[in-house]
Amino acid sequence: MPASRIVRCLLLCRLAPSQSALTITSNSSYPQHCKQNDEVTVSITTSEPLLGNTASITVFGNAATVTNPTGTTFEGKYTLSGSYTNGVVPFTVVIEDPAGNTASFTEAAVTTQLNYGRCCFTGQRAYVSC
């Protein structure tokens, strides 16, 4: 193996994986809101293949069911079955590359956050009773 390829491998093997796309959505009719019994989907596209070809994704601290629909894209789905605090939906994504480098991302890393409320949403108005 040429020396330049060995050096490149050594440098790349020390870099943590990154993401090129990270989103959170729900199956609600109102894309930026969700409520109890809605399914939340966290999607991430990574910069490289991951160890075990999977990611660890939690929503409100609960493990999501993770799938790998294509190459370096991973989706974690979680149904909101309990009672949660109103506000921005917290989530965490942890990824690890085959070299053992890890990276984690939270709701702070997305440009459009998802809001949870125990009420029904209609456009810009929220109603207390469902």
The pLDDT, as a whole number, for residue 11 is: 53
- Is the predicted pLDDT of residue 68 greater than 80, yes or no? yes
Report the pLDDT value the prediction gives residue 7, as an integer from 0 to 100. Answer: 45
3-state SS, one letter per residue, for 56-117 = EEEECCEECEEEEEECCEEEEEEECCCCCCCEECCEEEEEECCCCCEEEEEHHHCCCCCEEC
d(Cα 49, Cα 86) in Å, to the nearest integer?
Answer: 35
Looking at domain 16-127, its CATH superfamily turns out to be Macroglobulin (MG2) domain (2.60.40.1930)
How many CB atoms neighbour CB 26 within 10 A? 22
Phi, psi dihedral angles at 97 (to 5 degrees): -90, 170
Least reliable range by pLDDT among 46-50, 55-59, 62-66: 46-50
* Residue ranges covered by each domain of the chain: 16-127
